[in-house]
Structure 1
Amino acid sequence: MAHLARLLQFSDSTLPIGSFAFSNGLESALQTQVVKDSAGLLQYVELVLGQSARMDGIALLHAHRAVLADDYEAVVTADRELFCRRVGEEQQLMLTRVGKKLGELASKISPSAMLERWLGDIASGSTPGCLPVAQAIVLAHMGVDKVEAFVMHQYGVASMILSAALRLMRIDHIDTQRILFTAQDRVQDDYLSVCDRSLDEMTSFAPVFDLLVAHHTTTHVRLFMN
């Protein structure tokens, strides 16, 4: 029961790691009318979830295995490889700022030697500190298996976008919960499609999303950092 309670705690959208400051490109998607309504929002959430699985999800799974094998260098490799593949300064900022915040929070309530070493390397600039790698270190130390960790990450991505949607568009909590419920249908297929991929296969083709991220970098009026 304690294990389940902690899974809920670390997947809660109110976890104080700063994810509320980012929209995962949704703000620009609305400004450019790529997303216009709840149907478009569902499609957008599913697009980002697919991209996240093929990028962040692969890095998370590799880092999780590395933590269990006590292979710190492999953890850092996954961190660096993911950072290099994320297009756009704001996407990199989101990954590293929230990742560091999660690590710092966990170090106060569930510390581990590897986590402290990783935070030290972030401070020194030796590794970027991406969120999926932070989740892998923290969750593996807590006894969370790789499937649970992947599901928690994907849930957090969808929750972040839908939380932003409530502040950016005419939509209510019922619609966002319906979208979240529907979007979670794909999580098993996404996991099975990436669980055996190597870091070299960590890639994503989502040009519309990349353009939206680039658009948001130069827009003059915005509510979110990303």
Structure 2
Amino acid sequence: MPPDPPSSLPDISATVKILQFGDSMFPVGGFAFSGGLEMAVQLGVVRDRSELAEFVATVAHLAAGCDGVALLVGHRAARAGDLAGIRRADEAVHLRKLSEESRTMTVRMGRKLAEAAGHIVGDSLLDKRFREAAEDRVPVTYPVALGVLFAILGLSEVDAFAVHQYGVATMVLGAAVRLIRVDHLDTQSILYAVNATAADEYRRVAGVGLDDMATFGPVLDVLAAAHVRAHVRMFMN
């Protein structure tokens, strides 16, 4: 006879929600973006596995200090039922996207996530924010939408932050296998190393507010500006 299940089971439903909405194949369009890698490769900033690892680590670090902060604020606002607080987080993200392509990415992915959540989860605070955004000049942004969605699903802000950081890294690494000479084992090794930094990144930004959101990455800003004018592009940023 099979053994009896343990008296206290882990929350499997929470785990599968994290897996579903944190899946790199979830239909928000992340595959269409490279996180700046395409132009970095074209201009010789990233040429091999070692430089790719440094690039991904840098992108993830910068994302934590900007989008990651807004995600946490959005999650906390959703837990409090504060629609205005969610809107302020969206505005903070949108205003800090210096390049046209970075704004396009966060708005497009935010809209896709909100639309998908409305279809899957139903009416929610995220759906209300999405309808509100259609009437004002502050669009839904991806990190805030992700934080709000995880709050709605009853998942912690730590889970939301982890999924966000994982998604940033997998976006760049997914593009890498199409841009430079690396294989899937290389990218998984890099992903494993970047994942190991997520807890420290969370501790670094957990107490940071919207006014202190910052992302100082001038090389990435220059790459984004150059990519807008590129004649041949595989990715949207």
TM-score over 0.5 (shorter chain): yes
CA contact (8 A) 2:87 2:138 kept: yes
Report SS of the residue matched to 2:47.
coil
**Superposition pairs of residues 139-218 of structure 1, within 5 angstroms:** 139-218=150-229
Distance across 2 between alignment mates of 1:15 and 1:143 = 19
Distance across 1 between alignment mates of 2:133 and 2:236 = 21
Distance across 2 between alignment mates of 1:113 and 1:144 = 15
Q: Give the C-alpha shift of residue 126 in structure 1.
A: 3.6
2:47 maps to which residue? 36
**Residue among 111, 114, 120 paired with 2:131:** 120
CA contact (8 A) 2:118 2:124 kept: no
| 1:136 to 2:138 alignment | no
Report SS of the residue matched to 1:14.
coil
CA contact (8 A) 1:86 1:92 kept: yes
CA contact (8 A) 1:112 1:141 kept: no
Backbone CA RMSD of aligned residues:
0.9
Q: Give the C-alpha shift of residue 63 in structure 1.
A: 0.7
Report SS of the residue matched to 1:73.
helix
Distance across 1 between alignment mates of 2:81 and 2:137 = 19
Percent of aligned positions that are identical: 42
Kindly tell me the number of residue pairs found equivalent between the two proteins. Answer: 226
Distance across 1 between alignment mates of 2:33 and 2:51 = 19
Letter in 2 for 1:4: T
Q: Give the C-alpha shift of residue 166 in structure 1.
A: 1.1
State the structure with more CA Rg: 2
> After superposition, what is the alpha-carbon deviation per residue over 1:104-147, rounded to whole angstroms, capped at 9, x for unaligned?
01111112331221111232244211101110111110011011
Letter in 1 for 2:155: V
| 1:3 to 2:14 alignment | yes
> After superposition, what is the alpha-carbon deviation per residue over 1:35-75, rounded to whole angstroms, capped at 9, x for unaligned?
00011011000110111000000000011000001111010
**Residue among 32, 48, 71 paired with 2:59:** 48
**Residue among 73, 76, 87 paired with 1:76:** 87
Structure 1 runs not aligned, ≥5 long: none
Distance across 2 between alignment mates of 1:32 and 1:192 = 34
**Residue among 14, 22, 30 paired with 2:25:** 14
**Residue among 49, 60, 66 paired with 2:71:** 60
Which has more helix, going by share of residues? 1
Distance across 1 between alignment mates of 2:46 and 2:95 = 28
Q: Give the C-alpha shift of residue 158 in structure 1.
A: 0.3
CA contact (8 A) 2:124 2:152 kept: no
* Range moving further from structure 2, 124-133 or 6-15: 124-133
Structure 2 runs not aligned, ≥5 long: 1-11
Q: What is the TM-score normalised by the length of structure 2?
A: 0.93
CA contact (8 A) 2:106 2:142 kept: yes
Letter in 2 for 1:150: F
Distance across 1 between alignment mates of 2:147 and 2:171 = 19
Q: Give the C-alpha shift of residue 179 in structure 1.
A: 0.6
* Range moving further from structure 2, 172-181 or 103-112: 103-112
Distance across 1 between alignment mates of 2:136 and 2:82 = 20
Q: Give the C-alpha shift of residue 171 in structure 1.
A: 1.2
